[in-house]
């Protein structure tokens, strides 16, 4: 009997709590997305150069690569590129073989020797001079320049802030269409950001009227894009 009485009291205490919870329904919310987009001209580029040589004699291939590498480095120095912006740490040596059908075995035919040179260029007006001059000096492989900006973190944050403002503007437009207003944000999540991308391509070539090949390298703008998902309270007018 004592246990039954205790259960009855406990049940009586829970009923008001349940009623109270029903008197305060969950607030109405709306979920929107926001996008921020910022276009700026790049102010730096990273260029990968390589000097390669093949020869049946390893020493000959090495001498060829080292001589042309020295010429490429001299060209970069002549453009005023700081030593800290140039990386040429090592030499790659690789034997190359051919298949001898008569002997049914691999036969050494020579060696491939390569030097890799990575450059950071802070004066994009010299991009064409760098690439064309490096090719003339002996570089026989040039990777497409990767354009960037020295203040990328700040520009990403500006695009993110613009995405947040866009999310609220979208929420306000949607709420107004329903005759309601927007309250504070309940959640705001940034979507993983892609790398800043060039407006059209990493390098845009001018028309064939350009005075020299070095003048034909023109960079487009970089586009920083950020997106957010947001959830706001949806309020009655005047609330």
Tens-digit pLDDT profile for residues 1-52: 443 333 333 333 333 444 444 555 678 999 999 999 999 999 999 999 999 9
- CATH no., domain 44-148: 3.30.70.2970
Closest by alpha carbon to 80, among 31, 137, 129, 11? 129
| Cα 117 from Cα 140, distance rounded (Å) | 11
Report yes or no on whether pTM surpasses 0.85. Answer: no
| Cα 191 from Cα 35, distance rounded (Å) | 10
Which pLDDT score, from 0 to 100, does residue 105 have? 83
> What are the backbone angles phi and psi of residue 67, rounded to the nearest 5°?
-65, -45
Half-sphere exposure of 14 (CA within 13 A, CB side): 6
| Cα 19 from Cα 75, distance rounded (Å) | 82
What CATH architecture applies to the domain 26-41+152-235?
2-Layer Sandwich (3.30)
* Beta carbons within 8 Å of 60's beta carbon, 6+ residues apart: none
Please work out, in degrees rounded to the nearest 5, the angle formed at the alpha carbon of residue 48 by the alpha carbons of 149 and 119: 55
Which pLDDT score, from 0 to 100, does residue 25 have? 66
Segments of the chain assigned E as strands:
29-40, 44-55, 86-87, 91-100, 105-121, 141-142, 146-148, 181-190, 197-198, 204-205, 217-218, 222-235
Handedness of CA 197, 200, 204, 206 (dihedral sign): negative
Residue with tokens 């298949």: 99
Domain locations in the chain?
26-41+152-235, 44-148
Which pLDDT score, from 0 to 100, does residue 24 have? 59
* Beta carbons within 8 Å of 91's beta carbon, 6+ residues apart: 62, 65, 113, 114, 115
Closest by alpha carbon to 206, among 141, 123, 127? 127
Residues of the chain below pLDDT 70: 1-25, 198-212, 239
């Amino acid at each position: 009997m004592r246990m039954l009485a205790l259960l009855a009291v406990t049940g009586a205490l829970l009923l008001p709590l349940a009623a109270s919870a029903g008197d305060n329904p969950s607030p109405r919310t709306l979920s929107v997305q926001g996008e921020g987009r910022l276009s700026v001209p790049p102010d730096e580029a990273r260029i990968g150069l390589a000097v390669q040589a093949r020869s049946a004699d390893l020493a000959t291939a090495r001498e060829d690569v080292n001589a042309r590498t020295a010429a490429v480095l001299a060209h970069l120095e002549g453009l005023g590129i700081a030593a800290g912006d140039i990386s040429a740490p090592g030499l790659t040596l690789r034997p190359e073989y051919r298949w001898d059908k008569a002997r049914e075995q691999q036969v050494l035919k020579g060696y491939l020797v390569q030097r890799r040179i990575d450059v950071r260029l802070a004066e994009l007006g010299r991009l064409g001079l760098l690439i064309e001059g490096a090719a003339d000096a002996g570089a026989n492989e040039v990777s497409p320049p990767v354009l960037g900006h020295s203040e990328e973190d700040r520009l990403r944050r500006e695009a993110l802030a613009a995405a947040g403002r866009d999310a609220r503007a979208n929420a306000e437009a949607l709420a107004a269409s329903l005759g309601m207003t927007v309250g504070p944000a309940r959640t705001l999540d940034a979507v993983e950001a892609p790398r800043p991308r060039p407006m059209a391509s990493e390098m845009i070539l001018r028309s064939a009227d350009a005075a020299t090949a070095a003048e034909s390298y023109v960079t487009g703008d970089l586009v920083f894009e950020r997106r957010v998902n947001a959830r706001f309270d949806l309020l009655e007018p005047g609330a």
